[in-house]
Amino acid sequence: MAQTLAIAQLTLTDFRNYAALRVQPGARLVVLAGANGAGKTNLLEAVSLLSPGRGLRRAPFCELARQGGPDRWAVAAHTEGPHGLISLGTGWTGDNGETGEGASRQVSIDGVRQKSSGTLGGYFNVLWLTPSMDRLFSGPASDRRRFLDRLVMAFDPAHGARVGSFERLMRERNRLLEGARPDAAWVGSVETQMAEVGVAVAAGRAQAFAALAERIHRHDDETSGFPWPDIHLDGELEALLAASSAVDVEDQYRRMLSDSRGADAAAGRTLNGPHRSDLVVHHGPKGVPAKQCSTGEQKALLVATVLAHARLIKSLEAGTAPVLLLDEIAAHLDEMRRVALFEVLEELQAQVWMTGTDEGLFAPLQGRAEFYRVEDGALAHA
Ligand SMILES: Nc1ncnc2c1ncn2[C@@H]1O[C@H](COP(=O)(O)OP(=O)(O)OP(=O)(O)O)[C@@H](O)[C@H]1O
Ligand SMILES: [Mg+2]
């Protein structure tokens, strides 16, 4: 069976600036070049929606419908990978009454309608780097947590759903605590569930993180030009798990929640838990925090983290590298780093979708990648 996970055919219907598009990538490495506004990121966004969650822009689903088109959109793909040939489909229609920010999308796997997008994680593993992530190290911890949770999902597709249910439980507890006389038994039952799911989330992170850190710190696949990222997982439950069993940490966290009802009610939020964890990154060779590094160095650290992760996933038993979406990847990388990146991508044997405004930046990939020119929501072979 094919070990590379790849999209063999991608179809977009009324998705952003694409009325109708069908692509059948013939190579593992795909380069999409085109002017600003041509539709490069839109295409990567469509691919990202084949995985659980809201896609790489986290945009409301109603915004994805093509302006001037019908109030609906669809993305479909035939994928090849360790599960054989699978067809994945997702879409949204405005006429089912769900039109606001919180509207959900439909998902099908091999034609079978799914209850949520979560099950996609069992079939399609994808990681992305976009220009908005250039500020990952200097921006809010929530972005780094989301980035980390994506990495964890490659180990455990159910992780995303657990993160989602923890957040729902936490919002429920916060709402209950806002009330004048919260029902203690009800709050207690929500806290019990929060402890169970929260510790599972922390354990998933701790495990995936440990594997990634070990891989990086071995330095045996260091890529010339890319600094090694010195990564730390900063989280209360994750730290407790290093010393105690999951059951004990659940007990501790449940007590912590119960003891902090007053403080949490006063703060209007839950002060402790896995929703406060952070991925702390330093520039390994220089020993300085990533946020103090130059724009290009930060980008290189981010790329190095994703590459280490992709190699790790691939090296695990029967592992398959995730599909990579690298938006504007050539920006901020000097020529040496670009060439180094292309080498690693080729060696990784992952399907990689790369974009750039300037095709010339991908020149070293001539003959090794499939080049498309993107223009006004259409693709042509370059
Ligand atoms: N729902 C929509 N319907 C139609 N067009 C849309 C929709 N949403 C976004 N667009 C348009 O899609 C165009 C392409 O966007 P996209 O972000 O993919 O461009 P890009 O090729 O990545 O450009 P850049 O090089 O600037 O990053 C933009 O002009 C945007 O206005
Ligand atoms: Mg773009």
Query: pLDDT tens for residues 32-56?
Result: 999 999 999 999 999 999 999 999 9
Q: Write b or e for each residue in 283-311: b if 16 or more Cβ atoms lie within 10 A of its Cβ, otherwise e.
A: bbeeeeebeebeeebbbbbbbbbbbbbbb
**Residues 266-269: contacts with CB within 8 Å, 24+ apart?**
268/174, 268/178, 269/174
How far does residue 123's CA lie from ligand 2's centre (Å)? 26
d(CA 172, CA 227): 43
Our answer on whether the CB atom of 16 is closer than 6 Å to any ligand 1 atom is yes
For residue 310, which of 279, 335, 282, 341 has the smallest C-alpha distance?
341
* pLDDT of 317 higher than 80: no
Around ion ligand 2, which residues have CB less than 5 A away?
40-41
Give CA separation, 324 vs 125, 128, 271, in Å. Answer: 9, 6, 35
- Token pair, residue 315, equals 């090296």
Our answer on whether the CB atom of 72 is closer than 6 Å to any ligand 1 atom is no
Average pLDDT over residues 308-334: 90
Mean pLDDT over each residue of the chain, to the nearest integer: 94
d(CA 228, CA 303): 10
Our answer on whether the CB atom of 357 is closer than 6 Å to any ligand 1 atom is yes
Question: Could you tell me if residue 8 is left (phi over 0), alpha (psi between -120 and 50 degrees) or otherwise beta?
Answer: alpha
How far does residue 39's CA lie from ligand 1's centre (Å)? 5
pLDDT in tens, 238-291: 999 999 999 999 999 999 999 999 999 999 999 999 999 999 999 999 999 999
For 135, other C-beta atoms within 10 Å of its C-beta total 13
Ligand nearest to the CA of 39: 1
- Determine the pLDDT at residue 217: 87
Instruction: Tell me which of 3.40.50.11900, 3.30.499.10, 3.20.20.70, 1.20.1050.90 is the CATH number of domain 136-296.
Output: 1.20.1050.90
pLDDT in tens, 215-238: 998 876 666 678 999 999 999 999
How far does residue 41's CA lie from ligand 1's centre (Å)? 7
How far does residue 115's CA lie from ligand 2's centre (Å)? 31
Tell if the pTM clears 0.85, that is, is over it: yes
